[in-house]
Amino acid sequence: MQLNVAMRSALSLAKKGLGMCYPNPSVGCIILDKYNNLIGLGNTSKTGRPHAEEVALTNLVGNPKGGTAVITLEPCAHKNNNNLSCTELLINAGISHVVIPILDPDKRTHGKGVKLLKKSGIKVSVGSYKDEALDINYGFYSRIKYNRPLVSLKLASSLDGKIAIKTGESKWITGEVARLHGHSLRASHDAILVGINTVVKDNPSLDCRIKGLEKYSPVKVVVDSNLKIPLSSKVLKNLKDHPVIIWTKKNNIKSTKKDKLIRMGVSIIELKQRNKKLVLLEGLNALAKKGFNRILVEGGSNISASLIESNLIDNVYLYRNGIFIGDDGLSSVGKYKLKNLSLAKRFKLKDTRILDGDVLEEWKLIN
């Protein structure tokens, strides 16, 4: 197997695990023997451990001595409860070449893994497929570097950019295939965030309803300054399996509703307000502290506007159907104070595909 093919396979393995192994990054690893035959593969386990390298080295079908390890991130150099680090595992296995696209941003490993490997006489190649690797684990990178997770905005809109008709009805603007695809997005994120009006008007469950992936439904986050959430909301069912976090304003201390929600098992995070709105960055910082790498925002209009205004959206997934709703419908993004076009955040088109009767466009923030 050629090294570039091995790296592309490792990247696919890494992608597969997104949304399933936070707080760890999702890593893929391919082991080749000294003749470049594929003898092992793995990706980060569902709970974050064992790491991809350990999985790959545990299930070998050949001899790794003198072989190559192709990994999508620098192998860890820190021990976990006295277990060997991945760097040590690779050294002990007799690997003679390690190929990685990027260093681990985690201070415990950053550069140390590479140094240790080189010290043991192992050749280390760094840098190929750097953009692809960073793209896959941008959530982890952002959490460590900027203390906030990656934020993806999902919109299901009409041709004229509306997400609901005048009455608030939004079910369903897009077709079944697009909605199913949206569920796969949920599984690949660690948490899903919505504004309180979306919970009140749509009463969504926010689970991933793809057969076999239900258990990877993300944690739900509701932005609700005044704890207006109805206790009968679908998101509050089955809190044991599908936890809910509510962001609310500070000093709601006497709220009996708050006590009730806490008793039900809801986590409450209190945030500062600015102009009577919760400071969303503070909420994202709190989620980063809890280890969340990837957040999917599913509206509504006001939450999306606030996040865009605060420059907190990294990716957009726009599902568009061929209907017009008109100016009396609800815009996908509410009002925000853009003073001139040069200040607008620009996104570039990353991918586009047809999903039956809908189009999905993936946009990425231009940094």
Distances (CA, A) of 366 to 115, 240, 311, 313, 350: 33, 39, 11, 11, 11
Binding test (CB under 6 A) with ligand NAP, winner from 151, 156, 245, 360? 156
Q: Round to whole Å and give the CA distance between 145 and 98.
A: 25
Contact segment (CB under 6 A) with ligand NAP among 67-75, 103-111, 208-216, 302-310 equals 302-310
Q: Which of residues 303-342 bind ligand NAP (CB under 6 A)?
A: 303, 306, 330, 334
Identify which of 31, 28, 119 has the alpha carbon closest to the alpha carbon of residue 68: 31
Q: Which of residues 186-225 bind ligand NAP (CB under 6 A)?
A: 194-198, 201-202, 223-225
Binding test (CB under 6 A) with ligand NAP, winner from 70, 86, 114, 164? 164
Radius of gyration of the chain (CA): 22
**Contact of 51 with 88, CB cutoff 8 Å:** no
* Residues 6 or more apart whose Cβ sits within 8 Å of residue 95: 31, 64, 67, 68, 69, 122
Nearer to ligand NAP, 171 or 348 (CB): 171
Q: What minimum distance in Å lies between the beta carbon of 253 and ligand NAP?
A: 17
Q: What minimum distance in Å lies between the beta carbon of 363 and ligand NAP?
A: 15
- Segment (H or E) for 248: strand 244-249
Nearer to ligand NAP, 101 or 204 (CB): 204
Binding test (CB under 6 A) with ligand NAP, winner from 277, 281, 323, 361? 277
Q: Residue number with the shortest CB distance to ligand NAP?
A: 300
* Residues 6 or more apart whose Cβ sits within 8 Å of residue 83: none
Q: What minimum distance in Å lies between the beta carbon of 201 and ligand NAP?
A: 4
Is 270 noted as a catalytic residue in this protein?
no
Q: Round to whole Å and give the CA distance between 318 and 17.
A: 23
Q: Verify binding: residue 67, ligand NAP, rule CB under 6 A.
A: no
Q: What minimum distance in Å lies between the beta carbon of 325 and ligand NAP?
A: 10
Residue type, 23: P
Residue 80, classified by CB atoms within 10 Å of its CB into exposed (0-12), middle (13-18) or buried (19+), is: middle
Strands 191-195 and 294-297, bridge-based pairing: parallel
Nearer to ligand NAP, 133 or 308 (CB): 308
Q: What minimum distance in Å lies between the beta carbon of 185 and ligand NAP?
A: 12
Q: What minimum distance in Å lies between the beta carbon of 332 and ligand NAP?
A: 7
Q: Verify binding: residue 170, ligand NAP, rule CB under 6 A.
A: yes
Residue type, 194: V
Binding test (CB under 6 A) with ligand NAP, winner from 40, 50, 67, 299? 299
**Contact of 17 with 48, CB cutoff 8 Å:** no
Number of residues in contact with ligand NAP under rule CB under 6 A: 31
Q: Could you give the angle at which helices 112-119 and 86-93 cross, rounded to 10 degrees? A: 20
Q: Verify binding: residue 285, ligand NAP, rule CB under 6 A.
A: no
Residues that bind ligand NAP (CB under 6 A): 155-156, 163-164, 168, 170, 173, 194-198, 201-202, 223-226, 228, 277-278, 280, 298-303, 306, 330, 334
Residues designated as active site: 53
